[in-house]
Amino acid sequence: MILRTTHTTTYKYSDTVAICHTEARLAPRSTREQTLLEHELLIEPQPSSLVSYTDYFGNSVTTLTIDEPHETLRIEAVSLVECHGLEAIHPALTPPWEQVASAVRRYTTDQTFEALQFTYESPRVRPAPGFADYARVSFTASRPLFEAALDLCHRIYTDFKYDREATTVTTPVEEALHSRRGVCQDFAHVMIACMRSLGLPARYVSGYLRTGGGSVGAHASHAWLSVFCPGFGWLDLDPTNDVIPSTRHVRLGWGRDYSDVPPVNGIALGGGTQTITVDVEVKPTRPLDA
Amino acid sequence: MKLEQAAVRDDFASTWRYQPLPNFYDEMLGADGSVRPHWRPLIEALNSIGPAGLGARWQEGRRLLHDNGVTYNVYGDPRSTDRPWPLDPIPLVIDENEWAAIAAAIRQRAALLNAMLADFYGTQRMMRNGIFPPELVFRHPGFLRPCANVPVPRGIYLHNYSADLARSPDGRWWVIADRTQAPSGAGYALENRLVSQRVMPDVFRAMQVHRLADYFQFNRELLRSLVPHHHDNPRVVLLTPGPYNETYFEHALLARYLGYTLVEGADLTVRGKAVFLKTLGGLLPVDLIMRRQDDGFCDPLELRGDSVLGVPGLVQAVRMGNVAVTNALGSGLIESAAPAAFLPTVCQHLLGEELKMPTVATWWCGEEEQLAYVVDNLARLVIKRTFQGPNVQPVFGAKISDPARQKLAAEIRRSPSDFVAQEQVALSTLPVWQDDRLAPRHLVLRVFVAAREDSYEVMPGGLTRMTSSLDSLVASMQHGGGSKDTWVLSSGPTAQTTLLTAPSISLEVSRATFDLPSRVADNLFWLGRNVERVEATVRISRAILTRLYHESDPASFAGIAAGMRILLALGHLAPRPTKATNGASKEARDAALEREMLAMIYDTDGKSELGATLRQLRRLAWLLRDRFSADAWRSINRFDQKFAAPSRVEALRMGGALNLLDDAIVTLSAFGGFAMESMTRGHGWRFLDIGRRLERALLMVDTVHNGLSVRAIDQNAELQTLLEIADSALTYRSRYLTSMQAGLVLDLLLLDEANPRSVAFQLARLVEHVEELPAREVSSRKSAEWKIVTKMLTALQIVDAAELVRSDESGKWSNLETLLATIGNGLRTLSETIARHYFDHSLASRQMSL
């Protein structure tokens, strides 16, 4: 299946912006679940400089500077991604979660060492007492890791209400836990915090969800999480929709939490008040011939 | 020999009454009470100077510090932004051999910490191999992921490094803290040296003390070798968080001393992947940034989005290799105390050597055995937070109550990795000069390292800091301790390096015209305006006070009234209820006036306009201290302190106030003189002078407008006062003898282009200045500023003094009023226009994320 994604971010300012520096993490990553075929950034006005580099987590980042005065900035990312999906794993076959925690704590392999840094708190996922209590209900003694994770994912999906008004990007994750409300980003952060409270690695995934089918989170950028399981690698979970992401999800990149991978992030000089509109479209398509 | 020693000891004990503490190592006296051999020359010299002599010399030292405006800021102290730098006259003396061992150990430590940073930001092999706990890196807010794998020129992360050393009772030195991101103190060490050398030149020479200048020279050479482009004439800037930073004085001092431009984050901008300095002349490329700002604050785009300080895009410019930053961004990671617990192993692993100087015993509670030890021994340990910077106050286990200790133990058990414990070193002591005798104080020695291309250079000396009292074991300027110069003795004669003798050395000469950040131009302009404002107020007040003294002179009242009207119009005096004063006797009126004047001059209620202007002047001078020569700075600093601290007794007397005003005039003239004679004729000087000319013209307009009452019975007294305020009485007398005529006075004060006090003179200078301002757009047309000034000057040139004093039907001098209004409005428009065109640098930046 090939998906064509179009992600448009428009900034409108009440005053002129003299200069802006922007980072875009808008190129889907090639992973075992998907292959990036094509990617293009269309920026208006023309940036005076455009550079790409790979960040600490391996995500491709484009940094751009616009130094002509402007009142509107439009960044459109168009990508073609081939989604393979993954063979379903049997949750019961994954090791007991305590074993995973201990393997990561001992970090004897490169994989566990890489996973280790996703067990610590991060700028948006601060530890708080409530997370471990909430998580323990699913993570009973010796329960297989992915089975417990799926259960936790299901409980978050059931207990939490998707509510655009409840939170903003700066709402602390603890507040989302208490109010049991939020958007996909909060759902992901809450579950990451739960995993980490037990010493288990979990990372934040930024991406898109294919439109249609009644899923929550389409038409905007989406977010979910991955949990690490030795021998299985990183396994995705989407608590907003209570699904294991497969061919309907497109992965842009990952980090410890949202702050490591905002799709667009920048500093503008001037501008007055700003209005941001984001539009995402994900549609199946056929590869372009030749 | 024995006898001689004993003599020195007895002599010393009786003269200086120095009593070291038992159970501590004393730097000067051995356990048997004899002076240590390397201190003997100093003690002999002190003995021959004697307490009285030392007292006298030290007064000179304090005057130097005061005049040089050496200060540091104390956070959270609302009273002032700066405090005088406390320096003690007795240096710490260190023997050459001992120093060699210290220097070798510190060089090794710098290399070690540098190698650790290279590993953490590169392959992370040490963590993968279990040599170093990953948690200490991954959880540390100072581990800046955007800086990982960013190329670092020559592999140098630590261009400057400093360590705090302490000596235990057995005589061993220990490292108690590392400063790795923007170590401060080298500038203060330099300033201490300049003072101690001035106060004891004879002793200093005789003892063959190592000089500090080479250290700065090496530092400068290294920075030059690091720049990616423009090797011949690189533009290096010193990035400061701003004047409210604790060590801003040092930033300004080092910038001036090393010849770098002092900038704040807003002065820099990233364009097309490189960093530029925003100047009046346009954007100029920056090759190297010596930062004194914490790394997290250096780039709001990639590092900390909540910070408005810093330069958006800086990390990308570094990543592209277009600018070098010292110390490398991210080097704050190892400033924490926790890594010290692992240094001996890490040193073996990375350098294949034994660690030469131990760190004070350190336990990181993230490891189980260490946690157990710490909890059992809390009462004798110092507890620090693992992931907080070195400026956070530690908890002294010995100094808290049992319940508090239990609470702390519980807290540590809850999140052990967040805590580090260290042993408390029983700090050694040395004498400080206090109440005409020598008293012991604990000390911590900060030593400085500069990287060279393939090695590290240790400054032969350092900053010795003392605890504020004998009970305290915290040596910190923040907590009121003092400081000392540090003399490292040399066995051979030391070379004279000229760099040291010129603290105000300025390498700006060739670039002064271009490197002026527009923020600095703004400040210079307002400094000029405020200097004039103060001078005018002082002159008017003096005219009034002198007349109050000469009460027998019947003409004096009209002069006083004229002066009062001007002060009132300028906002210096509150409008007075006429009823109350009319009824009172002349004596009561004079007394009330006197009280009011003194309150205004000394700003006793903190509300006077003069007080506010002086505060503003002080703030601007402070912001600009790197722009002035040491002499010019001294003149204005001295001035400011006079008003700031009036003698309580004198404040009650008019005579004191008059002296103060007389002095103030002289000082202001001196400052004007330095500006005229010593500042290069670049844009900096030009904006300062534009500010002065503009304000002087404006004040003259106000003075004439308010001071002259057309129908006054005694107009002569008014004219006399105006001439005096305008410092033009002498000129007038020499021209017209004593005949007072309004037309002639107005000609001299407004129209005469030869009188440096006249409005016309100021406008003529302003025309010259605005012609030289950098063009805003390429065009042969005259600038808006030029048109405004020329229009005003022409208005003055075509008018005749006789027309100005012609009464209209209602008996008013309407021609004069119209002219004054035209000029006043023109000057205000000029000020706004200049601000709009040249000072537009303060656009607020904002986050663009959702």
Domain boundaries, chain A: 2-84+262-285, 91-257
**Residue B510: pLDDT band by 50, 70, 90 thresholds?**
very low
Residue B498's pLDDT is 45
Nearest to B312 among A21, A116, A259 (CB): A21
DSSP string, B746-770: HIIIII-TTSTTSHHHHHHHHHHHH
Do B846 and A67 count as a contact with CB atoms less than 8 A apart?
A: no
- Match 């005529």 to its residue by tokens: B741
Nearest to B848 among A169, A260, A265 (CB): A265
Give Cα A155 distance to the centre of its chain.
20
Distances (CA, A) of B737 to B715, B721, B725, B744: 17, 16, 18, 12
**Residue B243: pLDDT band by 50, 70, 90 thresholds?**
confident
Q: For all residues of chain B together, what is the average pLDDT?
A: 84
Residue A133's pLDDT is 96
Percentage, residues of chain B above pLDDT 90: 43
The residue ranking higher by pLDDT, B66 or A159, is A159
Residues contacting residue B514 through CB under 8 Å, at least 6 positions apart: B279, B281, B284, B682
Q: Is the pLDDT of residue B307 over 70?
A: no
Q: Show the domains of chain B with their CATH numbers.
A: 363-424 (3.30.1490.270), 520-838 (no CATH)
Do B850 and A169 count as a contact with CB atoms less than 8 A apart?
A: yes
Residue B848 touches partner A, C-beta closer than 8 Å: yes
Calculate mean pLDDT across residues B566-590.
72
- pLDDT tens-digit profile, chain A (290 residues): 899 999 999 999 998 888 899 999 999 999 999 999 999 999 999 999 999 999 999 999 999 999 888 999 999 999 999 998 788 889 999 999 999 999 999 999 999 999 999 999 999 999 898 999 999 999 999 999 999 999 999 999 999 999 988 878 778 899 999 999 999 999 999 999 999 999 999 999 999 998 776 666 667 889 999 999 999 999 999 999 999 998 899 999 999 999 999 999 998 888 888 899 999 999 888 755 44
Alpha-carbon distance A286 to nearest alpha carbon in chain B (angstroms):
32
Alpha helices in B132-246, H assignment, sequence order: 134-138, 186-199, 201-206, 213-226
Residue B7's pLDDT is 55
Residue B366's pLDDT is 94
DSSP string, chain A: -EEEEEEEEEEEEEEEEEEEEEEE--SPPP-SSEEEEEEEEEEESPPSEEEEEE-TTS-EEEEEEE-S-EEEEEEEEEEEEEE---PPP-GGGSPBHHHHHHHHHHT-SHHHHHHHGGGS-BTTB---HHHHHHHHTTS-TT-BHHHHHHHHHHHHHHHSEE-TTT--TTS-HHHHHHHTEE-HHHHHHHHHHHHHHTT--EEEEEEEE-S-TT-TTTTS-EEEEEEEETTTEEEEEBTTTTB---TTEEEEEEESSGGG--SEEEEEEE-SSEEEEEEEEEEEE-PPP-
> In which element (H, E) is residue B443 found?
strand B437-451
Q: Is the pLDDT of residue B792 over 80?
A: yes
Query: How many angstroms separate the CA atoms of B240 and B253, rounded?
Result: 12
Do A55 and B145 count as a contact with CB atoms less than 8 A apart?
A: yes
Q: Is the pLDDT of residue B462 over 50?
A: yes
Calculate mean pLDDT across residues B644-658.
62
Give the residue from A23, A267, A274, A277 with the most B CB atoms within 10 Å of its CB, the best one to mutate: A267
Query: How many angstroms separate the CA atoms of B353 and B112, rounded?
Result: 10
**Residue B281: pLDDT band by 50, 70, 90 thresholds?**
confident
Do A48 and B272 count as a contact with CB atoms less than 8 A apart?
A: yes
pLDDT tens-digit series, residues B609-619:
888 888 788 77
The residues on A that touch B, with CB distances below 8 Å, are 11, 18-23, 48-49, 51, 53, 55-57, 63, 65, 67, 107, 110, 113, 116-117, 120-121, 169, 259-260, 262, 264-271, 274, 276, 278
The answer to whether B313 touches A67, Cβ cutoff 8 Å, is no
Residues of B in contact with A51 (CB under 8 A): 273, 316, 320
Do A271 and B846 count as a contact with CB atoms less than 8 A apart?
A: yes
Residue B25's pLDDT is 96
Do B145 and A260 count as a contact with CB atoms less than 8 A apart?
A: yes
Nearest to A65 among B313, B848, B849 (CB): B313
The answer to whether B490 touches B97, Cβ cutoff 8 Å, is no
Nearest to A264 among B319, B843, B849 (CB): B849
Q: Which long-range contacts (CB under 8 A, 24 or more apart) does B600-603 make?
A: B600/B541, B600/B567, B600/B572, B600/B573, B601/B541, B601/B643, B601/B657, B601/B660, B601/B661, B602/B643, B602/B646, B602/B651, B602/B657, B603/B643
Q: Is the pLDDT of residue B447 over 70?
A: yes
Residue B312 touches partner A, C-beta closer than 8 Å: yes
Residues of A in contact with B272 (CB under 8 A): 48-49, 65
Residue A288's pLDDT is 54
Residues of A in contact with B301 (CB under 8 A): 21, 23, 63, 265-267
- B77-81, B250-254, B349-353: least confidently modelled range: B77-81
- A32-41, B148-157, B199-208, B633-642: least confidently modelled range: B633-642
Residues of A in contact with B134 (CB under 8 A): 107, 113, 116-117
How many other CB atoms sit within 10 Å of the CB of residue B623? 22
Residue B77's pLDDT is 44
The residue ranking higher by pLDDT, B717 or A80, is A80
The closest alpha carbon to B96, from B4, B225, B209, belongs to B209
Query: How many angstroms separate the CA atoms of B202 and B207, rounded?
Result: 9
Residues of B in contact with A7 (CB under 8 A): none
Residue B495's pLDDT is 57
Per the structure block, which two tokens stand in for B369?
């055995």
Strand A274-285 and strand A233-237: the pairing is: unpaired
Nearest to A267 among B134, B149, B301 (CB): B301
Nearest Cα residue in chain A from B137: A117
Calculate mean pLDDT across residues B713-738.
86
Fold of the A91-257 domain: C8orf32 fold (3.10.620)
Calculate mean pLDDT across residues B190-202.
88
Query: How many angstroms separate the CA atoms of B562 and A59, rounded?
Result: 75
- A-to-B residue pairs, Cβ atoms closer than 8 angstroms: 95
Q: Which of B95-99, B291-295, B298-302, B844-848 has the highest mean pLDDT?
A: B95-99
Nearest Cα residue in chain B from A104: B134
Nearest Cα residue in chain A from B274: A49
Q: Is the pLDDT of residue B508 over 50?
A: no
Do A266 and B128 count as a contact with CB atoms less than 8 A apart?
A: no
Do A267 and B846 count as a contact with CB atoms less than 8 A apart?
A: yes
Residues of B in contact with A22 (CB under 8 A): 848
How many other CB atoms sit within 10 Å of the CB of residue B102? 22
Residues of A in contact with B125 (CB under 8 A): none
Q: Where are the beta strands (DSSP E) in B596-687?
A: none
Q: Is the pLDDT of residue B70 over 80?
A: no
Nearest Cα residue in chain A from B129: A108
Biggest CA–CA distance in chain A, Å, is 60
Residues of A in contact with B311 (CB under 8 A): none
The answer to whether B797 touches B760, Cβ cutoff 8 Å, is yes
Residue B411 touches partner A, C-beta closer than 8 Å: no
Alpha-carbon distance A214 to nearest alpha carbon in chain B (angstroms):
25
Residues contacting residue B849 through CB under 8 Å, at least 6 positions apart: A169, A262, A264, A265, A266, B305
Per the structure block, which two tokens stand in for A59?
């995500």
pLDDT tens-digit series, residues B513-529:
447 888 888 889 999 99
Cis peptide, bond prior to residue A284, ω within 30 of zero? no
Strand A49-54 and strand A60-66: the pairing is: antiparallel
Do A116 and B138 count as a contact with CB atoms less than 8 A apart?
A: yes
Residues contacting residue B63 through CB under 8 Å, at least 6 positions apart: none
**Residue B480: pLDDT band by 50, 70, 90 thresholds?**
low
Per the structure block, which two tokens stand in for A76?
């459109």
Do A267 and B269 count as a contact with CB atoms less than 8 A apart?
A: no
Amino acid identity of residue A32, one-letter, is R
Kindly report the backbone phi and psi dihedral angles of residue B79, in degrees, each rounded to the nearest multiple of 5, phi listed first: -65, -40
Q: Where are the beta strands (DSSP E) in B471-617?
A: 483-488
Residues of B in contact with A267 (CB under 8 A): 300-301, 305, 312-313, 845-848
Kindly report the backbone phi and psi dihedral angles of residue A61, in degrees, each rounded to the nearest multiple of 5, phi listed first: -120, 135
Alpha-carbon distance B500 to nearest alpha carbon in chain A (angstroms):
42
- A117-126, B363-372, B619-628: least confidently modelled range: B619-628
Query: How many angstroms separate the CA atoms of B796 and B778, rounded?
Result: 31
Do A120 and B135 count as a contact with CB atoms less than 8 A apart?
A: yes
Residue A231's pLDDT is 92
**Residue B259: pLDDT band by 50, 70, 90 thresholds?**
confident
Query: How many angstroms separate the CA atoms of B343 and B269, rounded?
Result: 39
Q: What is A2-84+262-285's CATH number?
A: 2.60.40.2250
Kindly report the backbone phi and psi dihedral angles of residue B289, in degrees, each rounded to the nearest multiple of 5, phi listed first: -115, 115
Residue B122 touches partner A, C-beta closer than 8 Å: no
Residue B649's pLDDT is 58
Nearest to A21 among B134, B270, B843 (CB): B270
Calculate mean pLDDT across residues B736-751.
88
Do A262 and B301 count as a contact with CB atoms less than 8 A apart?
A: no
Do B139 and A121 count as a contact with CB atoms less than 8 A apart?
A: yes
